[in-house]
Amino acid sequence: MSTDVVRDTDDLGPEPEQRPDLILVVDDDQDIAGFVEFNLKVHGYDVIRASDGEDALRVMQDNRPDLAVVDWMMPGMDGVELTRRLRAEPLTSALPVIMLTAKSMTVDKVVGLTAGVDDYLVKPFDTAELLARVTTTLKRNKEFREVSPLTGLPGNSRVRREIHDRMRTGGEYSVGYIDIDRFKSVNDVYGFDRGDEFITALARSLHKAVTTIGPPSIFLGHIGGDDFVFICAPDQVLPLTKRTVTDFEQAADRLYDPADAERGYIEVPDRRGNKNKAALVTLSIGVAQATVEGRKFTDPRVVIAVASEMKKVAKSQPGSYVAIDRRRAGGEGDE
């Protein structure tokens, strides 16, 4: 495994600002609906209102809220039935729902939870509790959506926020971009299920490497397919990558059919029926670094772009390879 290759990458433009979360308030009591709307707007949320369940379904034909605050007792379609309808529709099945209710009986909460309610606010409630429930439910839902179901690791948005947090603190950090070389050949020969085993093996290898390295904490992300990201201190890069490569290559060998692992390649048929040799998988790792004497970053996308460019450099080299960008603050670097 080799390291320390340098390549410059042009900066990208600033990342667009995210819109405020949109909250749907559903309540036939206009006083309560107005109270909820006012307090949510004061604290930076966008709000749309509906007077009952049927009205809420109509409103959502033209709007995609991030969360719904729904009253339990409403004429016509009540909050529980509305929640069931939301869960039954693919476009709204993951919409988090907070139920407003005067009911505090356990059996009533069980009914709501069975229907798919995420949290409760028991009337009367104050502004602090309302905001706490909304903030917590939104955060929990976003984190759930961002986690890869295959590896359990956070995805793109969470990775970007983590890089932004590192930028804001002003300290040194490194961002690594990893993918599996010749991963497509595994899928072509063995199928996607076996391919998923290679992906989870890499996730396990990263976890095992992280547990053997001391503080500060290392962030791991899975941004899709066989692409992973790590964020750590600069002096953690080599210990982390060396242990990951060693463990992953050993695990990958066990995932091949024994005959393929023994001979060191697999045969990949092309469209004409010819069989081409594909070497066993390795890892290409590109690393961007923000250090005291090195370059500084102001946009998470630029960091990821630099790491991605360095990963391309790593792919041009044989075997598992780590390419680290070491461009200095003035734009110069050592090749």
Residue 133 identity: R
* Percent of the chain surpassing pLDDT 90: 61
The predicted pLDDT at position 173 comes to 96
Report pLDDT digits (tens) over 2-23: 444 433 333 333 444 568 899 9
Give domain 156-324's CATH architecture: 2-Layer Sandwich (3.30)
| Ranges 96-105, 143-152, 153-162, most confident | 153-162
Which of 147, 117, 151 lies closest to 133, judged by CA? 117
Residue range 22-146 forms a domain whose CATH class is alpha beta
Q: Tokens 């941004």 sit at which residue? A: 223
Tell me what the mean pLDDT of segment 196-213 comes to.
95
Contacts 24+ apart (CB under 8 A), 253-261: 253/280, 255/194, 255/197, 255/198, 255/201, 256/280, 257/190
For residue 107, pLDDT beyond 70: no
Domain with CATH 3.30.70.270 in the chain: 156-324
Angle at 332 between CA 242 and CA 320, to 5 degrees: 20
Question: Rounded to the nearest 5°, which phi and psi values hold at 86?
Answer: -65, -40
Report pLDDT digits (tens) over 279-330: 999 999 999 999 877 788 989 999 999 999 999 999 999 999 999 998 765 4
Domain with CATH 3.40.50.2300 in the chain: 22-146
pLDDT-wise least confident of 144-153, 243-252, 260-269, 323-332: 323-332
Q: Tokens 């390879």 sit at which residue? A: 321
Q: Give residue 112's pLDDT band: very low, low, confident or very high (50, 70, 90).
A: low
For residue 190, pLDDT beyond 60: yes
Distance CA 45, CA 39 (A): 9
For residue 90, pLDDT beyond 90: no
Tell me what the mean pLDDT of segment 146-154 comes to.
86
Say what the alpha-carbon torsion angle 36, 42, 43, 45 is, to the nearest 10 degrees: 70
DSSP-assigned letters across all residues of 95-112:
--EEEEES---HHHHHHH
Cβ count near 283 (within 10 Å): 26
